[in-house]
Amino acid sequence: MNALSDLQATLDASRKSWVESANEPACDFPIQNLPFGIFSDGLNSTRRAGVAIGDCIVDLAALESAGLLTVPSSSAGDSVFVRDALNDFIALGRDVWRSVRIQLSKLLSRDNATLRDDAELKRRALIRQADATLHLPVQIPGYTDFYSSKEHATNVGSMFRDPKNALLPNWSEIPIGYNGRASSVVVSGTPVRRPNGQLKLPDQERPVFGACRKLDIELETGFIVGRGNALGEPIPCAEAEQNIFGMVLLNDWSARDIQQWEYVPLGPFNAKTFATTISPWIVTLDALEPFRVAQPAQEPQPLDYLRHSGEHAFDISLEVLLKPQGANEATTIARTNFRHMYWTMAQQLAHHTVSGCNTRVGDLMGSGTISGPTDDSFGSLLELTWNGKKPLPLKEGGTRAFIEDGDELTLAGWCQGDGYRVGFGTCVGEILPARQ
C-alpha cells in the first residue's frame, strides 16, 4: 500500500481494535481517532507523549524503544516522545505525524498480533487513562483568540448596540481577533480562580475593585499550529490547513463585568487573561477529514487573500454542562456545532499572517465563541441568559445567570461516524472563590 492508501485505511469506519473499549459506539477514542497528548502515571512520573485508544493510552516512547514505532530522532539524538510537550514531535512535520498515526493504526488493529500478543510489552506500553495524569499537550509560544461566529457576534452586538446594526462593517470582511495571554492557558481539570478587577456599577460615578460578578464561559475550539512561517512571509489561505497539527476544545473564561469597563478602546485585557482551559488531547485534521463539510456562505465575497475553494468546516457536535457544587448531576445548558462558524481556520491563519506576522509550532488559535441559530445553541451564558435577564433552570433546582463559585463547567465535542465517533474528550474547569 502507498502512503495515501495507508492514510485512508486509518479512517476506515469498519476497522476495529484489539483494545475492546475503543470499539464501543460512544467511545471518543476509537482506532479512527488516535489523538496525541502528554501524560505521566503512578509508576512513571516522567512526562511523555501518548495517544488515546479506548480507555487507554499508548506510550509512544515505549513502542519506539521496542522497535515498533519508527520516527526521526531529535537533533540531540534522543526520542522526541520523552518530552513534557509535543512541540519537538510536531516540528518534524506533517509526513511524520501521518506516519506515526498509520503505524499505530496498524499495530492497534484487531488482526495485528505484534503488540496484541506481547504481554510484557503491552503491560509497559498500554496505560489505563484512569491511572494517568494528563498534562498541557504543547508549550504555547503565542495565543490568539478570534471572534468568528456570526450568530455570537450578532447576539452580542444586538445586546450592547442597536440590533439593526449588530455587526460592525468590518466583521464580514476580516476574521476579527486579538492576541491573548499564552501563559495562563491551562489543561482540563485545572481549577480556575474567580478574578478580581475594576467594575463600573451603573449607580456609581467611579469604578470599584472587587471580585467578578458576571463570570462566564466561551465554548470554543482551538487549533495548534504545526508548521510556523518566517517573519514577513504570509501563509496563503489555500495552504493554511497544511500548517495546522490538530484541534482541541477551548474554554475562554470571561469576566463580563470587568470586560465591559475595560474593553474600550483596545479590547479585552484582565477580563480574559486570568485563564483559558484546553482539552488534553489534540485531534489531528487527518482524523477529522471524514467529517469535513461546507462552511456557511460568505457575503460579501472575501478579498483574494482570504479565498479558498472546497469545504473547510467540520461537523463537530459540541455541548456545555454545568454542575453546581454538591450536585449529583450536571445540566446540559447548550448544544451547538462547529460547522456554524463563519470564518474558517484556514482564513483565520491566513489573515493572522498576511501582515507578515510569524507563527511558531505550538501556537494556539481560538475559534471564538461558537453559537448556533437557536436559543439553546448559544456558546456563552451571556447569550443563553441574555446578560442575566433570563436565568437558566438547573436539573436539581435553582438557576444560573452567570457562574457561581464551586460550579464545574464541562465542554464536550465529537464527530459522529457510522457506528463510531471521533471525540475530543472533555474540557473541565471548577471555579474557586476570588482571593480576598
Segment 11-31 mean pLDDT: 97
Domains of the chain by residue range: 3-135, 143-432
Percentage of the chain lying above the pLDDT 70 cut: 98
Quote the mean pLDDT of the chain. 96
Closest of 241, 278, 288 to residue 34, by C-alpha = 288
pLDDT value, residue 162: 86
Do residues 259 and 268 lie in contact, with contact meaning Cβ atoms separated by under 8 Å? yes
pLDDT digits (tens, 9 = 90+) for 31-60: 999 999 999 999 999 999 999 999 999 999
Query: Has residue 160 got a pLDDT over 80?
Result: yes
Segment 275-296 mean pLDDT: 98
Closest of 90, 102, 370, 405 to residue 219, by C-alpha = 370
Segment 114-135 mean pLDDT: 97
**Which segments are annotated as binding site?**
145, 147, 161, 218, 220, 252, 259, 263, 272, 276, 369
pLDDT value, residue 77: 61
Query: Has residue 293 got a pLDDT over 60?
Result: yes
Percentage of the chain lying above the pLDDT 90 cut: 95
pLDDT digits (tens, 9 = 90+) for 84-104: 999 999 999 999 999 999 999
Segment 301-310 mean pLDDT: 97
Segment 178-182 mean pLDDT: 96
pLDDT value, residue 5: 86
pLDDT value, residue 416: 98
Q: 14-46: buried (b, 16+ CB within 10 Å) or exposed (e) per residue?
A: ebbbbbeebbeeebbbbbbbbbbbbbbbeeeee
**Which segments are annotated as binding site for Ca(2+)?**
145, 218, 220, 252
Which CATH architecture does the domain made up of 143-432 adopt?
A: Alpha-Beta Complex (3.90)
Query: Has residue 1 got a pLDDT over 70?
Result: no
Question: What span, in angstroms and rounded, lies between the C-alpha atoms of 34 and 217?
Answer: 28
pLDDT value, residue 74: 52
Rg of the Cα trace of the chain?
22
What beta strand segments (E) does 116-261 contain?
Answer: 126-128, 132-135, 143-146, 177-179, 185-187, 192-193, 196-199, 208-211, 215-216, 219-225, 244-251, 254-255
Segment 396-417 mean pLDDT: 98
Which range is least confidently modeled, 159-173, 227-241, 275-289, 367-381? 159-173
Question: What span, in angstroms and rounded, lies between the C-alpha atoms of 267 and 180?
Answer: 10
Segment 194-214 mean pLDDT: 96
pLDDT value, residue 167: 95
Is 143-432 the same fold as 3-135?
no
Active site positions, annotated? 152
Segment 405-412 mean pLDDT: 98
> What secondary structure does DSSP assign to 202-224, as a single string?
TT-SS-EEEE-SSEE--EEEEEE
CB atoms within 10 A of CB 214: 21
Segment 417-428 mean pLDDT: 97
CATH 2.30.30.230 fits 3-135, yes or no: yes
pLDDT digits (tens, 9 = 90+) for 210-267: 999 999 999 999 999 999 999 999 999 999 999 999 999 999 999 999 999 999 999 9
φ and ψ at residue 58, rounded to 5 degrees: -90, 120
